Amino acid sequence: MSAENSVASVPLPFEPSPVIQRMVGDDAGLADCKGKRIGILVVAYNAVSTLDKVLKRITPNVWKNVEEIAVFDDASQDATFELTLGMKAHRSLPKLSVIRQPRNLGYGGNQKAGYRYFMDKGFDVVVLLHGDGQYAPEILSHLYGPVVRGEADAVFGSRMMRAYGGPLKGGMPLYKYIGNRILSSFENSALGTSLSEFHSGYRAYNLHALRKIRMDRMTDDFHFDTEIIIKLHHQLFRIAEVPIPTYYGDEICYVNGMKYARDVVRAVHRYRQTRNSVQSHPEFEEYFVNYSLKKSRYSSHSIAQRLVGLNDQVLDIGCGDAYFASELKAEGNRHITGADFLAEPRNASVLEQYFQADLDNGAPRLREALRGKTFDSVLLLDVIEHLRLPEELLKCAREWVKPDGRVILSAPNVAHLWMRLHLLFGKFEYSSRGILDSTHLRFYTRRTLKELARRCGFEIVREEATVVPLELVTGLSSENPAMRVLNGISAALAWLWPSMFGYQTILVLKPAPSGSEG
C-alpha cells in the first residue's frame, strides 16, 4: 500500500479539548440519531486557522450518527475553502462537504442558505456550529439530542447556565456579560419568554419546524438569531436550553456590539408593531392582521362586545378574519354570520355562515344571500369609512335587523384633537393605520355620522366614544398599570368632550318608525 493510500484511509483524528472532554465524558447514548437524518451546518468566514481544529473536536459518535457535515464558506478572503477541500480529499470523510458562497451573504444570509440546503435534501434536524471554535463541538449531541427525542423543536446553547462554570469563568468580558444580560432581560420582558440567553449562536432545530418559518425577508445580519427566536416563539414551537461552556480566544470578532444591540432592540420593536397591527414590517409581515382585535376597556371592540346581547343572532359585516366574532362566540353568541371581501377568514370556524361580498354598491350578492333573514345585532364596525357609497349598505342593514334589534355602527372621528393639530401645521398625510388609513375613502365627525344614520332610516338610541388605542401604539398590554391610567384619563376626556377627544364614534341604532326617514 502506498503512503498516499495509507493517509487517505486514516479517519479524521479526534482531538478534543481536555477540559471539556473530562466534563462531558462519553456521548454514545446522547449521540444516537434514532433514525433521524441529522446535518451539521458549519458557518465559516476567514476560519482557516480554526476550522480544522473544530472538525477534529467533533466526537466519533457524532461523526457516526450524523449524515452530513456541511461547511458553508461565506466567500472567505483566506484559504478556508481550500483547507476544507484538502481535508476531505486527504482523509476518509465522505460525510464532509463544503459549499463556497460566490459572494458574502452575511451571517444570517449564510444560515438561511444552509437551512435551505438541508431542507431541500429532506433532513430532519440541523445543528448550527461556528467555524471559529467559539462553541464546543464536543457537545454537539447535547444540542440535537432533545430534538431527536421529540422533546423540543429548537434547542439553544446557553452560556449563562452554570454547568460549565458560567460565562465569566469561561473568559467572557465583563462588558459583554452585562450587555448580554441586559439585552436578554429586555427580550424576555418584551416577548413574554424566559430564556437565560438570547445571544448564543450554538443551536439545533427541527427542520420540519423551520419549514414553517418564513425566512426570505429576514435579515442577513447578526440579529438573524434574534428574529428566528421571535418567530419560533410566535408560532408556539417548543424551545429548550442546554448549558454550554464559554470560550473566548484571540479570533477576530466581526460583530459590532453597539450596532448589534440596536438591531436587536429594533427587531423586537418591529415585531411588536407588526403583531399589534400598528405597522407591517417585511420580516414579520405574515403576523400582520389588517384589523386586529382591540382589547382595551374603552376600545370599539370592547364597547361593541358589551352592547351585543347574549345568545344573539349576529351579522358581522366586515368581519375580517373573525377574531371579534370569536370573542362574541365565547360570550355565548353561537349564531354568527360574517361577511367581508376575504375569500375565507383565518378564524372561519367560529362563524355559522360566511359570505364573501363586495360591500360597496349595496352589496347585491349579500342582499340576495340574506333575503328574508333578520338578526338581533348587525355590526358595522370600522366599515363605512372604506366605502364609496356607505348609504347603500346602511339601508341594507335596516332590512337585516329585527324590529327590536340593533345596528352597532362605528367610524373614526376625523375631528379628533390629533387631527386638528395636524391640520393646524398643514399636515394631512395618509398612513397604514389610524384615522388617515390609506384605505379610508370617507371621513366623519360625530355630527356627520349621526346625520348619515338618520338619513338612512335609523334613530339613535345610544352614543359612545372610544379612546386612542395607545396599547397598539406603544406595544404595552392594556392591563399594564400605566396603560390603565392613561386609558382612564383618555376615557374621561372623551366622555366630557367626545367630538374633540373621541377617537371613534359608536352609535347604537334602531330602525326609525315608517315615514320618519330623513
168 pLDDT higher than 50: yes
Has residue 281 been placed in a domain?
no
The reported pLDDT for the residue numbered 499 is: 94
Whether 30 and 157 share a structural domain: yes
Q: How far apart (Å, rounded) are the C-alpha atoms in residues 189 and 398?
A: 48
Domain boundary among 254, 284, 319: 254
Task: Compute the average pLDDT of residues 30-42.
Answer: 96
The reported pLDDT for the residue numbered 49 is: 92
29 pLDDT higher than 80: yes
Whether 172 and 315 share a structural domain: no
2 pLDDT band, cuts 50/70/90, is very low
Domain boundary among 223, 254, 285: 254
Whether 146 and 215 share a structural domain: yes
Task: Compute the average pLDDT of residues 417-438.
Answer: 89
Burial of 82 (0-12, 13-18, 19+ CB in 10 A): middle
170 pLDDT band, cuts 50/70/90, is confident
Has residue 274 been placed in a domain?
no
Q: How far apart (Å, rounded) are the C-alpha atoms in residues 320 and 82?
A: 56
Q: How far apart (Å, rounded) are the C-alpha atoms in residues 515 and 389?
A: 23
User: How does pLDDT run across 283-293, given as a tens digit for each residue?
Assistant: 999 988 766 66
The reported pLDDT for the residue numbered 253 is: 60
Has residue 3 been placed in a domain?
no
Q: Looking at this protein, which amino acid is placed at residue 163?
A: A
The reported pLDDT for the residue numbered 293 is: 64
Whether 95 and 220 share a structural domain: yes
395 pLDDT higher than 70: yes
Task: Compute the average pLDDT of residues 121-134.
Answer: 96
Domain boundary among 221, 254, 287: 254
Whether 140 and 219 share a structural domain: yes
- Domain count within the chain: 2
180 pLDDT higher than 80: yes
Q: What is the CATH number of the domain that holds 93?
A: 3.90.550.10
User: How does pLDDT run across 56-114, given as a tens digit for each residue?
Assistant: 999 999 999 999 999 999 999 999 999 999 988 888 899 999 999 999 999 999 999 99
Task: Calculate the dihedral angle through the C-alpha atoms of 213, 214, 220, 224, rounding to the nearest 10 degrees.
Answer: -30
Whether 221 and 314 share a structural domain: no
User: How does pLDDT run across 329-367, given as a tens digit for each residue?
Assistant: 988 888 999 999 888 888 889 999 999 988 887 678 888
Q: Which of 403, 407, 348, 353 is nearest to 383 (CA)?
A: 407
515 pLDDT higher than 70: no
**Percent share of the chain, pLDDT over 90:** 64
Whether 250 and 304 share a structural domain: no
Whether 321 and 430 share a structural domain: yes
Task: Compute the average pLDDT of residues 190-209.
Answer: 95
The answer to whether 55 and 130 are in contact (CB under 8 A) is no
306 pLDDT higher than 60: yes
Burial of 37 (0-12, 13-18, 19+ CB in 10 A): middle
The reported pLDDT for the residue numbered 518 is: 45
The reported pLDDT for the residue numbered 3 is: 38
The reported pLDDT for the residue numbered 67 is: 96
What residue numbers bound the domain in which 59 lies?
A: 14-254
pTM of the model: 0.72
Task: Calculate the dihedral angle through the C-alpha atoms of 480, 229, 289, 431, rounding to the nearest 10 degrees.
Answer: 80
268 pLDDT higher than 80: yes
136 pLDDT higher than 70: yes
The reported pLDDT for the residue numbered 288 is: 84
Has residue 98 been placed in a domain?
yes
Q: How far is CA 270 from the centre of its chain?
A: 9
Has residue 285 been placed in a domain?
no
* Look-up of cell digits 463556497: 100
Element at 463 (helix H, strand E): strand 458-465
Q: How far apart (Å, rounded) are the C-alpha atoms in residues 2 and 225?
A: 48
The reported pLDDT for the residue numbered 362 is: 66
The reported pLDDT for the residue numbered 300 is: 82
Has residue 280 been placed in a domain?
no
Hey, which residues does 510 pair with through a beta bridge? Answer: 459
5 pLDDT higher than 80: no
Q: Which of 70, 73, 74, 72 is nearest to 105 (CA)?
A: 74
**Percent share of the chain, pLDDT over 70:** 92
9 pLDDT band, cuts 50/70/90, is very low
- Quickly list H helices, 152-245: 174-191, 207-210, 224-234
The answer to whether 130 and 43 are in contact (CB under 8 A) is yes
Higher pLDDT, 311 or 143: 143
Higher pLDDT, 404 or 294: 404
200 pLDDT band, cuts 50/70/90, is very high
Has residue 275 been placed in a domain?
no
Q: Which of 437, 447, 428, 309 is nearest to 379 (CA)?
A: 309
The reported pLDDT for the residue numbered 4 is: 39
Hey, which residues does 316 pair with through a beta bridge? Answer: 338, 379
Q: What is the CATH number of the domain that holds 491?
A: 3.40.50.150
Task: Compute the average pLDDT of residues 189-214.
Answer: 95
8 pLDDT band, cuts 50/70/90, is very low
Has residue 7 been placed in a domain?
no
The reported pLDDT for the residue numbered 77 is: 94
Whether 248 and 357 share a structural domain: no
The answer to whether 508 and 447 are in contact (CB under 8 A) is no
Higher pLDDT, 200 or 91: 200
Calculate the average pLDDT of the chain: 89
